[in-house]
């Protein structure tokens, strides 16, 4: 009896393509998790000095990160990989030459499953920092147990992310996203529809592509975001905060049944 039960118990280590697609039935799936923007902005006064410049490149851009879940729970790590694009962190630490050609090779290697066992992944970051305890983030309480690499992003005018994607099959984490100020930024996904959108140069695919901005984003609401698709983002106002939250796959049932 016990043996049968054990054999039938299914432990998910990745989310199969069919389940992933069903869950991400649109680019941004609204969740019933809402962060009060005014309360959050008040909490930010206390944490302002803990934001770090995002990554080691484009440091002229006003992009800052505050760790919520990292490797050791500290807010003073330097460097802090949670506040780097993780692809850039892996690229630098795996010893590729710092050239655009090698960065393209790095992306192609991932697609071909080369070196992927050496990558640091979102799920390798599991320790909450004190910033996760701020009062305005209490709406996250139900999902805190699933949270892996997560941070708050703070962007000012001209901060942006170029076209990229953040996950690939087999999918081992899910990503939530939200912003305090949807009128101060664009979040855009690559679109096959060429009748509307922005033409962007994709440095990795070496193609011009159409990116379309998401509409009707509510301030403070969290969304399940499909970061398997190419996307980019741009701030055209100051003080645009974004919730940048990864969840391990144990959150699958909760997201499927609990919060949507």
203-212: long-range pairs with CB below 8 Å, 24+: 203/100, 203/103, 203/104, 203/162, 203/163, 204/103, 204/104, 204/107, 204/163, 204/164, 206/104, 209/163, 211/163, 212/188
Nearer to Fe ion, 166 or 209 (CB): 166
Applying CB under 5 A, the residues found at the interface with Fe ion are: 166
Nearer to Fe ion, 86 or 134 (CB): 86
Nearer to Fe ion, 122 or 166 (CB): 166
- CB of 227: closest distance to Fe ion in angstroms? 5
- CB of 231: closest distance to Fe ion in angstroms? 6
- CB of 46: closest distance to Fe ion in angstroms? 27
- CB of 161: closest distance to Fe ion in angstroms? 6
Nearer to Fe ion, 81 or 134 (CB): 81
Tokens 């996904």 map to which residue?
189
- CB of 165: closest distance to Fe ion in angstroms? 7
Q: Which residue is nearest to Fe ion (CB)?
A: 166
């Amino acid at each position: 009896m016990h043996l049968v039960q054990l054999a039938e118990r299914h432990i998910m280590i990745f989310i199969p393509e069919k389940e992933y697609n069903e869950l991400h039935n649109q680019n941004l799936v609204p969740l019933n998790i809402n962060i009060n923007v005014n309360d959050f902005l008040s909490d930010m006064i206390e944490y302002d000095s803990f934001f770090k410049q995002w990554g080691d490149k484009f440091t002229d851009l006003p992009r800052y990160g505050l760790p919520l879940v990292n490797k050791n729970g500290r807010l003073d790590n330097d460097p802090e990989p949670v506040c780097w694009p993780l692809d850039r962190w892996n690229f630098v630490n795996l010893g590729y030459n710092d050239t655009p050609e090698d960065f393209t090779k790095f992306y192609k290697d991932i697609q071909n499953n080369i070196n992927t066992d050496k990558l640091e992944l979102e799920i390798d970051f599991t320790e909450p920092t004190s910033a996760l305890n701020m009062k305005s983030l209490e709406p996250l309480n139900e999902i805190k147990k699933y949270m892996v690499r997560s941070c708050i992003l703070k962007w000012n005018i001209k901060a942006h992310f170029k076209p990229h994607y953040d996950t690939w099959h087999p999918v081992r984490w899910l990503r939530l996203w939200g912003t305090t100020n949807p009128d101060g930024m664009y979040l855009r996904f690559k679109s096959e529809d060429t009748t509307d959108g922005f033409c962007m140069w994709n440095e990795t695919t070496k193609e011009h592509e159409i990116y379309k901005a998401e509409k009707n984003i509510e301030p403070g609401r969290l969304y399940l975001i499909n970061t398997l698709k190419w996307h980019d983002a741009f701030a055209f106002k100051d003080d645009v905060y974004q919730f940048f939250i990864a969840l391990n796959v144990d959150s699958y049932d909760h997201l499927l049944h609990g919060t949507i």
